[in-house]
Structure 1
Amino acid sequence: MTTLRLQAQATVTTIAASALLFTATAPATATPGSGVEARELYRSSVDGRHFILRDITIGPGGSTGWHWHDGTVIGAVKQGTLTHYSSDCTVDFVYSAGDSIAEPSGPDHVHVGRNLGTEPVVLEVLYANPVGMPLAEDVGAPSCQIP
């Protein structure tokens, strides 16, 4: 074997070992929701997109967990009050019964919804999602703190 080939194999081996070590020791960072129940009401597919209608209930003290969406999400608050935080931990909106919600897609739109009230929050949500993609991509909490 040539020296160049041996160096390339050693580099590949080092990179592979480093990747294995990192993935084996990296902590889980996702922040899953708590106190959330969802019920699918309708599903159809058109032109490479799934359209999924769900009722989502977030109990008092519950949270969606930090996440973003691959597709567009629109919905309405049927009951309760949802406090919506953007990725800088500021409240970007407080939604009450009768309000509509629209969330853009993409990892630059990380957010969390929390029920800070004493009654359940009930949402009716329509996802326009690329086929094969999850409804939400869970992510770790940002470095900022929410009260």
Structure 2
Amino acid sequence: MRAAALAGAVLTTFALTAVPAGATPGSGVTGVIISQTTVGDKDIILREITLAPRTGSTGWHTHDGTLYALVKQGTLTHTFACDKVDVYHQGAVFSEPAGPDKVHIGQNLGDVPVVLDVVYVLPHGKPLSEDAPDPGCGFP
């Protein structure tokens, strides 16, 4: 009986933490949280993200809240599914809107690391991002 309960708990945990089928997790990306606070029902997080040269990719993903970013170093190729590709150079600022229909990917196609300072404004307790499948729009 205990073994069955344990197996059920393990399977439930995997089901609740599984990424979407066909998800494209990031690679060559590191992130460090600089500060974090909660104001009302919002978590406000400052994070520095680094994407490795030529191979760094966030993978396709979405956010439950709005993000505001500053490119501290390098050039970021930022693709919104089936919509547009933007290229942000050092000193550029941009935002990412919330929602499951706002799937996007950030890539470093250059020869130096991309370093971003990102402010996340998320509903309290939500993850920084959620992996999403490649939308298949023909973008990188």
TM category, shorter = 0.7 to 0.9
- Runs (4+) of structure 1 exceeding 6 A deviation are none
Which residue pairs with 1:38 in the alignment? 31
Matches within 5 A, 1:1-147: 28-60=21-53, 61-88=55-82, 90-91=84-85, 93-147=86-140
Structure 1 unpaired stretches of 5+: 1-22
1:132 deviation in Å?
1.5
For residues 46-87 of structure 1, the C-alpha deviation after alignment (integer angstroms, 9 at most, x for no partner) is: 111110000000001210000111001001000000001111
Greater share of helix: 1
Question: What is the CA-CA distance between 1:101 and the residue it aligns to?
Answer: 1.4
Q: Is the 8 A contact 1:84 1:111 kept in 2?
A: yes
Cα drift, residue 105 of structure 1: 0.4
| Contact preservation (8 Å) 1:63, 1:112 | yes
TM-score by length of 1: 0.78
Query: Unaligned stretches of 5+ in structure 2?
Result: 1-14
Q: For this pair of structures, how many residues does the alignment match?
A: 121
**Deviation at 1:45?**
0.3
Which has the greater radius of gyration?
Answer: 1
Q: CA deviation at 1:146?
A: 2.6
Percent of aligned positions that are identical: 53
Q: What is the CA-CA distance between 1:29 and the residue it aligns to?
A: 1.5
